[in-house]
Amino acid sequence: MKIGCQTITFGNERHKSDMENIVKAVALAGYGGMETGFFRLDLGEAQNYKRYQREYNIRQAAIHIGGNYHDAESVKNQLANISGLIKLAHTLGCDNIFLSANAAHSEAEYKIAAGNIDSLGKMLHENGLVLSYHNHAGEIHDNCLGLFTYADNTDPKYVSFVPDVGWVTQGGGDPVEVLKRLGERMSHLHFKEFTKEGKITELGCGVVNFRGVYETVKHKDIWIIAEQDETLIGAEESIAANFGYLKNLIG
């Protein structure tokens, strides 16, 4: 079991000007790896990112991409970036590409998106990368219509899943049951915390059943990645608190 940090907590501006200190903060908090949104990374800085990660002994656990995969124009725009994504992943020694998509409005639209996601997964697979789908709350509505439509209409060879158990909870689902339904197609996990009022907070300060989730997956060799979209106490403080929670949970 490996513990990673989604660097979204540091915000857009710091990714542009302060990446070395982001990597350093992730290392000082105790994490073994980091996940970063592709749009927050500069392809021209790839060698510097690699140097920072080597210096602070941090792996690039995943790169995150997103888009509207039931819309042809959005898919076209995403595909235009794929060669750069593949090159960056290889430079950073990163095997995992995490993808999130805009929620669709019907099962038919989800099936269209599934076909496009499957094609992307095949392309990445042919380049030695693993594509895993990351859900938000929208794909959990209507008894997990979106998430399970993706699972039923993509090839396990090309598309895996990195469930966000916080968003599963916010969408009205049971994260333990979702993990059981996805089975071996679950590649990694995102841990995001919500208060009962629906506010994002540090892990262990809300209502998500992380203990039940961990008991379901503790035998697996996976990344559990803490993802806190916003912070009221400062990024360094939040990611340190999240690591402490995960370290105590995993033991």
Separation CA 182–CA 217 (nearest Å): 12
Residue-range domain boundaries for the chain:
2-250
Q: What is the pLDDT of residues 96-128, one digit of tens each?
A: 999 999 999 999 999 999 999 999 999 999 999
Q: Does the global pTM surpass 0.85?
A: yes
Task: Say what the pLDDT of residue 201 is.
Answer: 98
Residues 161-198 as b or e (16 or more Cβ within 10 Å = b):
bbbbbbbbbbbebbbbebbebbeebbbbbbbbbbeeee
Task: Say what the pLDDT of residue 77 is.
Answer: 87
Separation CA 224–CA 163 (nearest Å): 10
Task: Say what the pLDDT of residue 178 is.
Answer: 98
Residues 72-81 as b or e (16 or more Cβ within 10 Å = b):
eebbeebeee
CATH superfamily of 2-250: Divalent-metal-dependent TIM barrel enzymes (3.20.20.150)
Residue among 159, 227, 155 nearest 190 (CA): 227
Ordered per-residue pLDDT tens for the chain, 251 residues: 999 999 999 999 999 999 999 999 999 999 999 999 999 999 999 999 999 999 999 999 999 999 999 988 888 888 889 999 999 999 999 999 999 999 999 999 999 999 999 999 999 999 999 999 999 999 999 999 999 999 999 999 999 999 999 999 999 999 999 999 999 999 999 999 999 999 999 999 999 999 999 999 999 999 999 999 999 999 999 999 999 999 999 98
| DSSP sequence for 91-116 | HTT--EEEEEE---SSHHHHHHHHHH
